[in-house]
Structure 1
Amino acid sequence: MTAGQQDRTRASRPSTPRPTSARGARTPEAPVPAAPRSLTWSLPLAVLVALVALAVGGVFSAAFASQLLQDPGTAVRWGLPLTTVLTELSLAVTLGSLMLAVFVVRPGRALDTALSTAGAAAGVWAVCALARVVLTGANTVGLTLTADGFGEQLGVYLTQIPSGRALLAIAVIVAVVAVLALLVATPTGAAWTLVLALVPLVIQSLMGHASGSTSHELAVSSMFMHLVGAGVWIGMLASIALLRVRRALDGEALAVTVSRFSPVASWCFVLVALSGLVNAVVRLGGWSGLSTDYGVLILTKTALFVVLGGFGWAHRQWVVGRLGAVTAVGATATKAARAGGAAPAAPKTTALFWRLASAELLVMGAVSGVAVALGGTNPPDDNAPPSAPSPAYLITGHELPPEPTFARWFTEWRWDVLLGFACAAGLVVYLRWALRLRRRGDSWSVFRTLSWVVGMVVMFWVTNGGPVVYGAVLFSAHMLQHMILAMVVPIFLVCAAPMTLALRALPPRKDGSRGPREWLLVIIHSHYGRFFAHPIVAALNFAGSMVIFYYTPAFEYALSTHIGHILMTVHFTMAGYFFANALIGIDPGPSRPPHAQRLLLLLATMAFHAFFGVTLMSGEILMVPEWFGLMGRPWGDTALADQQTGGGIAWGVGEIPTVLLAVFVALSWSRDDARVAKRRDRKVDRDGDVEMDEYNQMLSRLADRDGR
């Protein structure tokens, strides 16, 4: 059996059936002792510490002092940051509880408690978000809440001002999240609710930095990463504590939950550290900014963050391993203890975890208060646009890059922290999975590992290097970026077989919860997964979405907005992956047609690409003329000539990966025929050539009949 056959066999093994959870339809569970009193008090104390930190930080920086012009009053100036703190904390608990329901806890009491906790927290979040709408409106229009005409001005703010509409949309979405969290009863429903709960974070990230300011894309991406990382980290720990207070976690379940939470907390630590560093660099404007009030708050938040990192290190050193060891060694004793209604062993380790968790929650509350005070303080560098912006800056938000040369394609950079982090994380995770297989004695192809490394490196360059710098001002550079994303990177990713590696490296779960491996199998075998992975659908999506993208407002949206650029990058990379995986991949999912049909499908796609490229080359109408036509470039071809060059890139450069795919399909066809021939030869050697013997006997009978 070849390596590819082994990969397909191991990846397609059926998983162990998991019990489902329905509220009110479960077997009774053993009672859990009451939570420690210190843990019960740590949660409200964390909120109190956050409010105290907010007050101290606000007084220090005078962020909430009275304004000389259009002062909205003391109630608004202090009520808005107070509401913001409560919003951030309830947001975190909502995300954390949903994360526990989706990835950590098993069906039963723990799942139901996590979902009800998420619903209650989202309800508080919705009320605070609505209050924040009113207070922000009062602060924006400069009127007190009791002033004459405030209601009318608030209506104008909510209907005509973009920030007002965005805040109102957040409140409505959060209210829907609260209702869904209380209605759903399965991990799948919790997953869809979690996806919806991330939408307000996207909106809030887009509001956090003016689109006309410098470093807009960098600030938006880092803000989203910061909100998600901090929210999940704080929220999951607080939700674990709430589940223990509500007696939904016993000692054994706590050990499993903590072991699953630990790697998530590590990734959140990296997310918060990286995004916080980027935000500080963007807003401080240099080392001198550290001496300002804003800089002092940054240093204070950094010190508290280092303390949180120390708590995480202590958890890993003193708690996680010991809880896991006690659970593994004392499984029999644990079952006996649970049957008698007693808590499992390891009381010292459990008590140590709760002491560390309680202290960590207090520090997290302080960090939340300082963060809100920091958000209300004017930064040293407001990233204001230049006084005399160039046409390129007015359109793209960046100065015109120098004329492209071969060297500048690799020396000009525009960092996208979100996509860059995704590439780095993908590289780290894949290498860890490959090393895990090797440590346990299983083989994994070095070629596949190198293919993944090359794919991630190329992806990082395309999204952070020359293609993205010049893709904003040249249609030809944008088309080159598109072709690499859709046709070059996916070939390397498909050859790396990431899903096959994940299914072999990720451990299966035995308690009915869904971990990464279980969710991957759910997605692969879902109706949506099978539909988009179908070869014909993948080909239509790969080719048809290109026409829809370039001949609709989607192209302009991807050029003019950061979220549009992110969606474009993700869509065309995934479309290329689905198409290449249907032709040459070994990852599970699509029902691959015979090799002859694959070649026909590939040739049809190649012809479509050629037609699309020729259409652009011969076109006389400039796409998005208010973008490419007004760039004011003193170098290079005219915008229309550059667009025609982009058509040549779509035809010529796009055909090279297509021909390479055709070669791979032909080689796969040849290897498949060789395997069939070898199997037949082994069968002949073992049983004789039965088919040939029967054929000769038929010929003999026909000859005898003709002779008669």
Structure 2
Amino acid sequence: MLTQISVGQAWLATTLIAATVTVLCFAVRNHTAIAFVLVIAVGGLVPMAQQGHAGGTEGHDAAVNALGLHLVFAAIWLGGLLTMVLLRSKLDGDRLVPVLRRYSAIALVCFVVVAASGYVSAEIRVGSLDRLLTAYGLLVLIKVAALLALGLFGAAYRRVLIGRLEERGSAARGPFWWLVTAELAFMGVASGVAAALARTAPPVSQVVAAQLPDPTPAQILTGEPLPPELTPMRYLTEWNFDLLWILLCAFGIFFYLAGVHRLRKRGDAWPVHRSILWVAGMIGLFYITNGGVNVYQKYLFSSHMLAHMVLAMVIPLLLVPGAPVTLAMRAIRKRQDGSRGGREWILMAVHSRFASFVGHPIVAAVLFAGSLLVFYYSPLFSWATTDHIGHQWMIVHFLIVGYLFTQNLIGVDPMPVRLAYPMRLLLLLATMAFHAFFGLSLMTGTGLLLADWFGAMGRPWGESTLADQQAGGGIAWSIGEIPTVILAIVTAIMWSKSDKRDSVRYDRKADRDGDAELEAYNRNLEALQAAERR
């Protein structure tokens, strides 16, 4: 039975992952291995998130995102608090205050994500304010009250308790642990209400599109009604919000600017243009994952290709000059107690063998160019188009391979291998030639990619499916060329500046030692000439 229905399969997968994580928690001690165990543990919550809202219904993708984020960050929040309780006997002396500060920062992020994801879930399932008086709505209100209480606990930690613990030491520990106990009680209430919500029918019913009285082909395929006819203005006016990427972009801007603020507060400079480019890149990422392109890429291959090109070529061109790793290394304080914080984890990731491999210029170029063939001419394209998890993987993949390739050309963040500037230009030209060939092959091709999806939408507007695919090839060819030219220009400018720096460095060295290197070279020539005359 477990393997025959989707809920049973989800529970089976979650149980197996939980068992694996339990064994690994006792078996591994290496920091890298622990990081992988964390990833596996988070992955164990994904199957249940996918079952929290019926597939094929309107709003399914948004509901899965919201529930997944809710589960993951609630687990981190509650798990962190339980960990502090379990390690209570170890948090003696001066250990408690720094641990509490770190947990408080994590809990604040969790509070924001849990609140935002809870709101989205309630909006999808409740629909309107008058439905809050239903049984489901009343449970939502109880959970909101518990969440607000937990927010007050967090404020008490940050504003009152940490200061008292620093001033009074052990005298303030009693009230602190009582507050932790009360917070655990409210978390228990919230968790119990969440379990009750999972067993209560929501006011907004979940009707699979195929069961509607007269479903359109687009509804049967996507679960959503066909959007209005695409026009250039509709790319700006149509929106399909994705909470995951809203939060990622918001946190990306916030933490970057917080790092810049910390540098300037201690008197260190950070180039303004780097901040502007980073924020612009995050805004671009927000639009591509939430705006009109995200609305239409389910229905039009050309919109999908536009999203691909922007994710892989335009957004990295803005993000890479922002130098986030360099900023993090300068802004995040180094841990002095032997533990690992953000700075230590970033350093470990940057210097890991995996990062050294995928970050190698040749490997990055192969991933960037080879992804075109592997993705579009394999089942990956179907998975990324028809499945929400596949769609999220596609965004992450295109963004990362584009970032790695751009970083090797114009990045200032540390990399395992740096090619000379002439080799960078050759690598860029070779990769872009392959890119242009791919675009031209789509422009002239007559075979449909994913014909049972794009060709079965039943669109009453727009070009034919083949013409739209050929237009997508034109986008791959034309839009890809603009960032290529920009990359080539920036690389050439960096090459020129590097030569000037080398020349200035050589002149300074010559001034210091009286041009000893040139004198030695001339003496060597004179000795050779004297030897020839003899």
Matched, 1:374 2:197: yes
Matched, 1:355 2:178: yes
CA distance in 2, matches of 1:706, 1:293: 104
State the match for 1:102 in structure 2.
Answer: none
Deviation at 1:303, TM superposition (A): 1.1
Task: Considering Cα pairs closer than 8 Å and 6+ residues apart, tell me whether 1 or 2 has the greater RCO.
Answer: 1
Correspondence for 1:494 among 320, 324, 329: 320
State the match for 1:64 in structure 2.
Answer: none
State the match for 1:688 in structure 2.
Answer: 514
Matched, 1:457 2:283: yes
- Label 1:220 to 1:695 Cα distance change in 2 as closer, same or farther (>3 A): same
Q: How many residues align?
A: 531
CA distance in 2, matches of 1:364, 1:258: 18
Unmatched 5+ stretches in structure 1? 1-156, 327-344
Q: Is the 8 A contact 1:215 1:383 kept in 2?
A: no
CA distance in 1, matches of 2:188, 2:409: 52
**Residue-by-residue CA offset, 1:410-467 (whole Å, 9 max, x unaligned):** 1110011111111111111111011011101111110000000000000000000011
Matched, 1:667 2:493: yes
**Residue-by-residue CA offset, 1:572-591 (whole Å, 9 max, x unaligned):** 10111111111110111231
Q: Is the 8 A contact 1:236 1:261 kept in 2?
A: yes
Matches within 5 A, 1:474-489: 474-489=300-315
Q: Is the 8 A contact 1:187 1:514 kept in 2?
A: no
Correspondence for 1:513 among 335, 339, 347: 339
Q: Is the 8 A contact 1:535 1:590 kept in 2?
A: no
Correspondence for 1:581 among 407, 411, 414: 407
- Label 1:688 to 1:310 Cα distance change in 2 as closer, same or farther (>3 A): same
* Residue identity in the other structure for 2:315: V
Superposed CA RMSD = 1.6
* Residue identity in the other structure for 1:243: L
* Residue identity in the other structure for 1:548: V
State the match for 2:8 in structure 1.
Answer: 164
- Label 1:226 to 1:701 Cα distance change in 2 as closer, same or farther (>3 A): closer
Correspondence for 2:440 among 610, 614, 630: 614
State the match for 1:45 in structure 2.
Answer: none
Greater CA radius of gyration, 1 or 2?
Answer: 1
State the match for 1:219 in structure 2.
Answer: 63
State the match for 2:252 in structure 1.
Answer: 426
Matches within 5 A, 1:50-61: none
Matches within 5 A, 1:200-219: 200-219=44-63
TM-score (norm 1): 0.73
Deviation at 1:477, TM superposition (A): 0.9
CA distance in 1, matches of 2:465, 2:333: 54
CA distance in 2, matches of 1:705, 1:517: 60
TM-score (norm 2): 0.96
Deviation at 1:555, TM superposition (A): 0.5
Q: Is the 8 A contact 2:57 2:206 kept in 1?
A: yes
State the match for 1:570 in structure 2.
Answer: 396
* Residue identity in the other structure for 2:7: S
Matches within 5 A, 1:257-656: 257-323=99-165, 325-326=166-167, 346-384=169-207, 385=209, 386-656=212-482
CA distance in 2, matches of 1:432, 1:173: 36
Q: Is the 8 A contact 1:416 1:464 kept in 2?
A: yes
**Residue-by-residue CA offset, 1:337-373 (whole Å, 9 max, x unaligned):** xxxxxxxx61232112111111111111111111111
**Residue-by-residue CA offset, 1:80-137 (whole Å, 9 max, x unaligned):** xxxxxxxxxxxxxxxxxxxxxxxxxxxxxxxxxxxxxxxxxxxxxxxxxxxxxxxxxx
> Equivalent residue of 2:247, what SS?
helix
Deviation at 1:687, TM superposition (A): 2.4
**Residue-by-residue CA offset, 1:14-63 (whole Å, 9 max, x unaligned):** xxxxxxxxxxxxxxxxxxxxxxxxxxxxxxxxxxxxxxxxxxxxxxxxxx
Q: Is the 8 A contact 1:582 1:590 kept in 2?
A: no
Unmatched 5+ stretches in structure 2? none
* Residue identity in the other structure for 1:313: A
CA distance in 2, matches of 1:303, 1:696: 84
Deviation at 1:686, TM superposition (A): 2.6
* Residue identity in the other structure for 2:185: L
CA distance in 1, matches of 2:37, 2:18: 10
**Residue-by-residue CA offset, 1:148-205 (whole Å, 9 max, x unaligned):** xxxxxxxxx2222222122112111111111111112233332222111112211110
* Residue identity in the other structure for 1:167: W
CA distance in 1, matches of 2:239, 2:437: 33
